[in-house]
Amino acid sequence: MTSDLARRAQEVLDNNRRESWTCPSSQFYPHQWLWDSCFVAIGLARTDPQRAAGEVRALFRGQWETGMLPHMIFAEGVRDFGTKRIWQSRKRAAAPRNVETSCITQPPLAAVATLYVARALPGPERGPFLAELFPKLVDYHRWLYRERDPRERGLVTLIHPWECGLDTTPPWMRELRRMPAPWWMRLALRLGLVRLVQFFRTDTKYVPAAERASAVDGLRMLVLIRRARRHGFDLERMAPERSVLVEDLAFNSLLVVANRSLTELARELGREIEPELDRRFRSTEAALEELWDEPTGQYYSRNAGTGELLDIPTVATFLPLWAGTASPPRVTRLLGLLQEPSSFWPRFPVPSVPTDARQFDDDRYWKGPTWVNMNWAIIEGLRRSGATDVAAELRARTLDLVDTAGLAEYFSALDGRGFGAHDFSWTAALTLDLLESAAR
């Protein structure tokens, strides 16, 4: 299996290659996405470190003067599927002039990817690569804290489901539905006109509608962009009762990992993280543990306005394992969920939503299917927590799954069928990493 699977994975990454970066899927996602490129770079670090370095560098084409790394950089000359027009990044003074971008961010894995790539680069190339990227990464992390944790609560607040990466997971969609809809949308819902949206959608031309976000959820997400745009995408100007503001579990867990990577990068360069920023890093580690719910033994995201935990279980509950913040009893409870019989451990683990949850949907996007990037992050977390046997089991099952079903975007947790885009870049890249990571 190994060499053939590695060859197929590399082929996907080669076919999805653009000039200096890699799109998630040639047909379906033709632009550059932030966390996708980070996963791609991590995989490419195994086979082609120079290309991996280029992948990370290409992300900084989109960096705003504020330091923000946008969740998308639009490819030129590609037919616009609609969202470019909604963002209108060129109208923002801080946005880059040479490329059009979205105006929100995505899980902050850039420092993590930089560290993986730096370690793979030959000695003489490593120093210059790090010296070039380090200040830009620091700017990004400063932005995250300055703009998204202005009250210094320790957790970064997200303003749109697309920022969390696990876009349509049930807690986010529940919050989205609580947001008051504009009059025209309420009218359209009452008259059943929302079904018309289906005609104008381009995503469902490539992938069955059942595997994507529902039309209503999709429309609400667009409404939310327009609202955020009116407030300059500025958290402090957005009224909590008319927005969806979430202290997201996955994002903040990955932020802790990224902060650690940044600290490591500083050390490699013989520098230090400035004390003020370092203090904020510590505050996130502590605050992440506020998201634990003792009765259910899981972590949840939190509504940033009300402070309420969004207690619908999702795969994000395992990400604090990678952050390394959980106490031993909490780790033990989480590990208990990663074995049979558990709704988080069906035949093809780990489902994005546990199989016994009311919201579980076998084939719909982030509402049930198994995703390779989540499995990969959980494996990293399991290794960090010393649960190497569970890590090895999940690694083997993940590789079997992609070997059989192909390098799809996501998979049925029940029967292993592949869904969404075929030949998906992060599935391919992380497969390369998993194939090589047996000994770690």
Burial of 333 (0-12, 13-18, 19+ CB in 10 A): middle
Residue 162, interface with ligand 2M8 (CB under 6 A)? yes
With CB under 6 A as the contact rule, the residue among 29, 143, 300, 348 that binds ligand 2M8 is 29
Task: Between 25 and 325, name the residue whose CB sits nearer to ligand 2M8.
Answer: 25
The question of whether 409 is a catalytic residue gets the answer yes
- Least separation in angstroms between CB 408 and ligand 2M8: 12
Which of 240, 246, 210, 209 is closest to 227 using CA atoms?
Answer: 240
Rule CB under 6 A: say whether 33 interacts with ligand 2M8. yes
Q: Are 56 and 40 in contact (CB under 8 A)?
A: no
CB of 266 to ligand 2M8, least distance (A): 28
CB of 302 to ligand 2M8, least distance (A): 20
> Which CB, 167 or 248, lies closer to ligand 2M8?
167
Give the binding range for ligand 2M8 (CB under 6 A) out of 45-53, 61-69, 160-168, 170-178. Answer: 160-168
- Could you give the CA distance from residue 205 to residue 214 in angstroms, rounded to a whole number? 14
Burial classification of residue 307, based on how many CB atoms lie within 10 Å of its CB (0-12 exposed, 13-18 middle, 19 or more buried): exposed
Active-site option among 167, 247, 362, 380:
167
What distance in Å separates the CA atoms of residue 210 and residue 363, rounded to the nearest whole number? 7
Residues contacting 234, CB < 8 A, separation 6+: 147
**Please, which of residues 37-76 interact with ligand 2M8 by CB under 6 A?**
71
Rounded to the nearest whole angstrom, what is the least distance from the CB of residue 36 to ligand 2M8 in the complex? 5
Q: Any contact of residue 165 with ligand 2M8 (CB under 6 A)?
A: yes
Among 35, 172, 251, 345, binds ligand 2M8 (CB under 6 A): 35
Among 167, 217, 285, 361, binds ligand 2M8 (CB under 6 A): 167
Peptide bond into 350 cis (omega under 30): yes
CA-closest candidate to residue 414, choices 353, 352, 372, 355 = 355
Is-cis flag, bond preceding 341, omega within 30? yes
Quote the least distance from Cβ 23 to ligand 2M8, whole Å.
Answer: 9
Task: Give the DSSP H/E element, type plus range, for residue 157.
Answer: strand 157-158
Q: How far apart are CA 109 and CA 322, in angstroms?
A: 13
Binds ligand 2M8 by CB under 6 A, chosen from 24, 49, 154, 320: 24
Site size for ligand 2M8 (CB under 6 A): 9
The residue (of 109 and 390) whose beta carbon lies closer to ligand 2M8 is 109
> If binding is defined by CB under 6 A, does position 251 make contact with ligand 2M8?
no
Question: Alpha-carbon distance 255 to 288, whole Å?
Answer: 10
Please give the Cα distance from 410 to 401 (Å, whole number): 10
Residues that bind ligand 2M8 (CB under 6 A): 24, 29, 33, 35-36, 71, 162, 165, 167
Active site residues: 167, 409
